[in-house]
Amino acid sequence: MLANYHAHTWRCGHATGTEEAYIQLALQNGCKIFGFSDHTPYPFPNSYRSTYRMSLEQIDNYVETVLNLRKAFAGQIEIPLGLEVEYYPNYFPKLLDALRGYPIDYFLLGQHFLGNEIDNWYCGRQTDDVQKLRQYCNQCIEAMETGRFTYLAHPDLIPFTGDLQIYQKEMRRLCLAAQENNIPLELNLLGLGTHRHYPNPNFWKIAGEVGAQAIWGYDAHDTESFTTYPVIEGQAQALTQRYGLRRLETILLRKPV
């Protein structure tokens, strides 16, 4: 794979391996661009602690580490600096303020919770609730319309078990909004390789029908998974061809702040 923009570090609390080890393995696999996009810190109220993202206190070290790697491997591989970010309306403006002054190259939109996360629903949990499906799509669309995001990670994260026609209607609306805002959709290789409920064939059939742009993303959480990526990439290629997806190998990064 020529480029990957979706990779996590130990700071999020559920990834392992050093950043340099990721880069060494990326080089061995012929990767020319390897971006880090760890789970963003968020300026939540002090009474709330999110358990799967870096803290605001860690952002300096994260930025310094990636920039040092960029210098160390200059001329061998491009290493953009990103964050995977949810769109939480109550706190998103505060996040932008907190990140001003940092050389962040891009945001990936990864909408893991509805609302503002606090006391709300995790989007990777099964549901037949039409309102949850609709809110997920509405929130992703509102995020894309901010112009702050480079692409939408695992857009098929929500495992809707209700009426298929309703799912198709809502996801078509999501895919069309991505087209209107020139936002590629990620075919998530972590989900493919670990046999999760995504990539969802029903979603990618719609994406292909509307001519959506697609980008592959490792969503790397450990260095060991690199040994399986050649096989997973073959599966991703089969899905890309089956649904007639317009795959992008590289992507133009949107400066978010």
Q: What is the mean pLDDT of residues 152-169?
A: 98
CA atoms 6, 257, 13, 74: torsion sign: positive
Tell me what pLDDT residue 227 has.
76
Cα torsion for 116, 117, 121, 123, to the nearest 10°?
Answer: 90
| Best CA proximity match to 217, nearest among 63, 99, 84 | 84
The tokens for 215 are 């980008």
Q: What is the mean pLDDT of residues 137-162?
A: 98
SS in 3 state form for 45-60?
A: CCCCCCCCCCCHHHHH
Tell me the CB-side half-sphere exposure of residue 174, using CA atoms within 13 A.
31
Computed over every residue of the chain, the mean pLDDT equals 96
The rounded Cα 228 to chain-centroid distance in angstroms is 20
* C-beta neighbour count of 142 within 10 angstroms: 13
| Best CA proximity match to 174, nearest among 211, 131, 133, 137 | 137
Contacts of 136-140 with C-beta under 8 Å, sequence gap 24+, read 136/111, 137/170, 137/171, 137/173, 137/174, 139/87, 139/111, 139/114, 140/87, 140/109, 140/111, 140/174, 140/177
Asked whether residue 226 carries a pLDDT value surpassing 90, the answer given is no
| Best CA proximity match to 4, nearest among 198, 151, 180, 204 | 151
**pLDDT classification of 228: cutoffs 50, 70, 90:** confident
Asked whether residue 31 carries a pLDDT value surpassing 90, the answer given is yes
Helix axes 130-144, 164-180, angle to 10 degrees: 10
Instruction: Return the higher-pLDDT residue of 230 and 189.
Output: 189
Contact call for residues 185 and 217 (beta carbons, < 8 A): no
